[in-house]
Every structure is written in structure tokens, then in C-alpha cells.
């Protein structure tokens, strides 16, 4: 069967910290470069865990990236000839990125966005629910739970501080499965009368 595939789409790579999102994003970027495509890579300037002008994975993979403080700065840096636009840590970008992503994909650009789908309370992170709803392709990765060794879809915050955004790596967070993940001040999981 012949499937007519027009160019321009949104791919999302999501999952908790340590699940390999940056690794997978870097892999896709490298393959696009091998295919001689014009690739532009961005990351929010707020995430300076390893390197201000590169995306870096916890396994030492890295690729140059343009740090941007918001969606408006990203738009100003866009190369009109880019065929692939990759965004890491997209959960930290403001909602102004949504029309930019749509416009790029509509014009034929392959947009690849990697980010945390949930915050450390297990709640949807920022604009990620919208980005996931708009995507053609979604890859949801899992890490390894640091308590029990099962597949982990959540990020446990190990230190307490206010707010959804605490930029940090291994020392502040670890991957946990649903059962080992602990959230302060939530319901006790009761569903039925008498439990």
C-alpha cells in the first residue's frame, strides 16, 4: 500500500528524568545530520545543568544547542531554511512555543520536542499536555526505579524546595515507579467506601 506522507510533523519524546530523552533526541539529531538535513537545536537557557550551549544526557552524550530564554527569543533565532528543529527540556518553555511549533510543522519542518511529561508530584508539566495532544508521534520512555528496579515513569524529588521548577540532576532527583514514588499532601489513594 502506498502511503502518501507529506512533510512537516511534531514528534515528542517524553518520560521522567533519566529515561533517556536527551539520548534519544541526540540520536535523532545525529541521524538527521547524516541524512544531510539542516538541523537547528534549541534548549531553554534556564537548564544549565551541564553546558549552557549544548544539550547533554546523563550518559555523557552531547550536542550543540542554542540557549533561549523564551519562545520569542527562539522565534528570532529560527533559520528559515531549517528542515529539522529539535527542542530539549521543552516543559520549561512558555506557551508561546505552541504556535511556533504549529507554524513550523505546517510549513514542512520536522519538529522534535523532548521533555518531562510529569513534574515531581506526578502532575502534567506545563505545556506538555498540549504538546502531546498536538503531536503526530509520541515516544514515552521509562527509566529504572532506584528503589525497586522496576520500570519508572515518575521523577522523585529528593530535596524540598518550593515550586515546580528546581533545576538539578542526580543529587536532587531520582527515577521511581508509581508504587515507590512519594508525593507530599495527596489523597491516600482510597477509591471505595470502607477502605
Scanning 1-9, 21-29, 117-125, 177-185 for contacts with ligand ADP by CB under 6 A, the matching segment is 21-29
Angle among Cα 150, 114, 24 to the nearest 5 degrees reads: 65
Angle at alpha carbon of residue 189, lines to 187 and 191, rounded to 5°: 110
117 binds ligand ADP per the rule CB under 6 A? no
Query: What's the rounded Cα separation, in Å, for the pair 122 and 23?
Result: 22
What single DSSP character describes residue 118? B
Residue ranges in contact with Zn ion by CB under 5 A = 145, 147-148, 150, 177, 180
Name the DSSP letter for residue 83: S
What track of x and - describes contact with ligand ADP for positions 138 through 177 (by CB under 6 A)? -----xx-x----------------------------x--
Q: How many CB atoms lie within 10 A of CB 78?
A: 16
CB of 59 to ligand ADP, least distance (A): 4
Q: Does 59 bind ligand ADP (CB under 6 A)?
A: yes
Least distance from C-beta 48 to ligand ADP, angstroms? Answer: 14
71 phi and psi angles, rounded to 5 deg: -65, -30
> What residue ranges bind ligand ADP (CB under 6 A)?
15, 17-23, 57-59, 143-144, 146, 175
Amino acid at each position: 500500500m502506498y502511503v502518501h506522507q507529506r512533510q512537516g510533523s511534531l514528534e515528542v519524546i517524553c518520560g521522567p528524568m533519566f529515561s533517556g530523552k536527551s539520548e534519544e533526541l541526540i540520536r535523532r539529531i545525529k541521524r538527521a545530520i547524516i541524512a544531510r538535513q539542516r538541523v537547528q537545536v534549541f534548549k531553554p537557557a534556564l537548564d544549565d545543568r551541564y553546558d549552557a550551549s549544548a544539550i547533554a544526557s546523563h550518559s555523557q552524550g552531547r550536542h550543540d544547542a542554542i540557549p533561549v530564554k523564551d519562545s520569542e527569543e527562539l522565534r528570532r533565532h529560527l533559520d528559515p531554511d531549517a528542515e529539522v528543529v529539535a527542542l530539549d527540556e521543552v516543559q520549561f518553555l512558555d506557551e508561546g512555543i505552541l504556535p511556533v511549533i504549529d507554524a513550523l510543522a505546517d510549513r514542512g519542518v520536522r519538529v522534535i520536542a523532548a521533555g518531562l511529561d510529569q513534574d515531581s508530584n506526578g502532575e502534567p508539566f506545563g505545556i506538555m499536555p498540549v504538546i502531546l495532544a498536538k503531536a503526530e508521534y509520541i515516544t514515552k520512555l521509562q527509566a529504572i526505579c532506584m528503589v525497586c528496579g522496576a520500570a519508572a515513569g515518575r521523577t522523585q524529588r529528593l530535596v524540598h524546595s518550593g515550586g515546580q521548577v528546581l533545576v538539578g540532576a542526580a543529587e536532587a532527583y531520582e527515577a521511581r515507579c508509581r508504587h515507590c514514588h512519594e508525593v507530599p499532601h495527596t489523597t491516600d489513594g482510597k477509591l471505595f467506601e470502607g477502605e
